[in-house]
Amino acid sequence: MPDPLSILLKRALRTTSLRCLALGSALLPALAASAQDSPPIPDPGNTPSRRVAPTPAPESSDRFRVRITPGIASEARRLLESNRDARPRLLVLLCENKGRLSGRDPLDAPFLERPQPILSMPITSAMLAEPATFLLGPDEIDTVMVPERLDHLSGGFLARAVLDLGLARGHAATGNPVSTITSVEFAPDRDRTFDLVVDRTRPTVELPTASNLKWIELDSPSITRTLGRPVRHRAGVAFPPAYFDLDAKRRFWPVIYVIPGFGGDHRAATRYAAMLRDPSMRSYLPQAVWVVLDPNDRLGHHGFADGDNFGPRGTALVEEFIPWLEKRFRLVPDSKGRFVTGHSSGGWSSLWLQLQHPDVFGGCFSSAPDPVDFAAFGT
């Protein structure tokens, strides 16, 4: 007799198979219809190629290769190692060789009436070991450029490289190594490497001489001590002709301290000496001793204001330089005989000195000073 459990299992399997067949019969037409509506699978061999946008042509990569000759590099390295706080930079200065700028020395930059391209990179004393060759251009990592690229330039330019040692104010300072002036030609459709050789230093400028003009330099112990490097007071002293009269050898003279504006220095004393010698100017120009001060440091116009960057400039002037001048020359050693004046940044400086040292100066004429009150800047 068959096992009842086996009979039940056979019936269950037969019923399940029939249901699966029925479900399959119902799904097959739907699957077939779905397959007919689906897009055909593409044949890889017949797949059309993708259209790729053409790669744009690379921008112009004009650059300058600057070589510093061994002797110049060695001396520059020695100077930098003895002035650790200097921040030297290698510059390539360009000047468009046409129009009003035609033939101008690129070292005369910046050309405020028509700014010209400048390339710059930082330099260290270690980088001046042989061979000292540097690349400056838009694709060089350390290059800073104004404008950002050279590819928009075309035509002829004059170029000059200068190693600004940072030991005095300005890239054109005496002693900075420079190259000769080189003609270069830019074209947007080609890349070029221009070679410049730094093989000389800026010569010392001889100060002019005159019968009533003296140039003064005096070490400043207080500023030197504060900044940790040698600093000197500088001035040009212009005398009225009567200062040298033998009949007035005991006469003491009032003094006018002149502070030049931004970009000026003590060499402006040459003009005052010439005016004092001119008889036609005696009724216009006060007959006093004119002392034209040098307001410059390696970082710029210091304004004769005491500070961390420039040291105690104002204090050193009134405590070191003025007393020395009054001992060296016949100057009235009293505030009644001291007057201070200046123009632009020098105007600001003169007003500052008068306010900070009212017992030293008896009067001030500040001409077109830099802003002394910022109240109107918010309107």
pLDDT digits (tens, 9 = 90+) for 160-174: 999 999 888 888 889
> Distance (Å, rounded) from C-alpha 226 to C-alpha 334?
28
Predicted pLDDT of residue 299: 84
SS3 assignment, position 134: strand
- Work out whether strand 255-259 and strand 232-238 pair parallel, antiparallel, or are unpaired: unpaired
Give pTM, 2 decimals: 0.73
The string over 140-169, giving b where at least 16 C-beta atoms fall within 10 Å of a residue's C-beta and e elsewhere, is beebebeeeebbebeeebbbbbbbbbbbbb
Q: Which residues are within 8 A (CB) of 234 and not within 5 positions of it... i.e. 6 or more apart?
A: 215, 216, 217, 265, 266, 293, 294
Q: Which residues are within 8 A (CB) of 139 and not within 5 positions of it... i.e. 6 or more apart?
A: 61, 63
Report mean pLDDT in 10-residue bins for the chain, 379 residues. Answer: 46 46 43 45 48 48 92 94 88 93 90 87 91 89 82 89 90 93 88 94 92 97 93 97 89 97 94 96 94 93 94 97 97 97 97 97 96 74
CB 125 within 8 A of CB 81: yes
Our CA dihedral for 151, 156, 161, 162, rounded to 10 degrees, sits at -110
Predicted pLDDT of residue 33: 46
pLDDT digits (tens, 9 = 90+) for 107-122: 988 787 788 899 999 9
Strand partners, 376: none
Predicted pLDDT of residue 168: 84
CB 70 within 8 A of CB 133: no
